[in-house]
Amino acid sequence: MAAFALVHGAADVGWYWHLVERELRARGHETTAPDLPCEDDTAGLAEYADTVARAAGRLRGGDLIVVAQSFGGFTAPLVAAQLQARAIVLVAGMIPVPGEKPEDWPANTGLWQAIAEQSAGDGGTAGSRDLLVTCYHDVPRALAEQAMARGSRPQSDTPGRSPWPLSAWPAIPTRFVLCTEDRFFPAGFMRRVVTERLGIVPDQITAGHCAALSRPRELAGMLAGYAATPAATP
């Protein structure tokens, strides 16, 4: 049995993971998916990590695996280092480097250029401001609308201005799940960032940016597999 701490992205809620949690619990694992203090202008990355660490500390036991989506990638390694987790898993997650501010990550990684290039080839889909087009295009419509209603919290700028505090990526086995149909973080761009910043080969799932909603069973199966299989250490 493993214990999974699941970290949501910006302006979202822990509910984002509810379908994956159901699948993991059916397999005998424990899960927690706390709401981060997105609206709190006094909360930075340290407070985000503390929120997840407190929730993970209430789990009964088992090897801890910290899983994060999108902006949660800045928080997951902080939690994993603090709690000496067995593994880190990023699902379409942002990968920080020491001292990097989240607000600088898109420019530093070349995200804007990647989106412009993909948008030129797909008629503007990648650059759309419509979340149903960029993030939820492969999520059932009713579920996508529910997700947008729940995940419409104000997102404070404070964590975006917080330099990532670790001196290096933790020496903890790390996996990356690349979403091949992602329009928010294009797959080709993300594959390059994973190689450059983690030095590992990502695994793949045929899904958009919100795989926990569009492919929960498949994603949960991957996570359960990681609990049983050692991973590479970046």
Judged against a pLDDT cut of 80, whether residue 125 lies above it is answered with: no
Q: Supply the pTM of this predicted model.
A: 0.95
Give 16's contacts (C-beta < 8 A, 6+ positions apart): 8, 9, 33, 69, 147, 150, 151, 210, 212, 213
pLDDT in tens, 93-102: 999 999 999 9
CATH architecture group of domain 2-228: 3-Layer(aba) Sandwich (3.40)
How far are the Cα atoms of 13, 90, 150, 225 from residue 105, in angstroms, in the given order?
22, 16, 26, 30
212, 143 contact by CB (below 8 A) = no
Token pair for residue 41? 């202008």
Q: Is 171 helix (H, G, I), strand (E, B) or coil?
A: coil
Say if CB 71 and CB 48 are below 8 A apart.
Answer: no
> Model confidence over 160-201: pLDDT tens digits?
999 999 999 999 999 999 999 999 999 999 999 999 999 999
pLDDT of residue 101: 98
Q: What are phi and psi of 158, to 5 degrees?
A: -55, -50
Band of residue 128 on the pLDDT scale cut at 50, 70, 90: confident
- What does the CA dihedral 1, 208, 46, 231 come to, rounded to 10 degrees? 40
Residue 227: helix, strand or coil by DSSP? helix
Residue showing tokens 């919100």: 210
Angle at 47 between CA 90 and CA 199, to 5 degrees: 25
Distance CA 96, CA 232 (A): 18
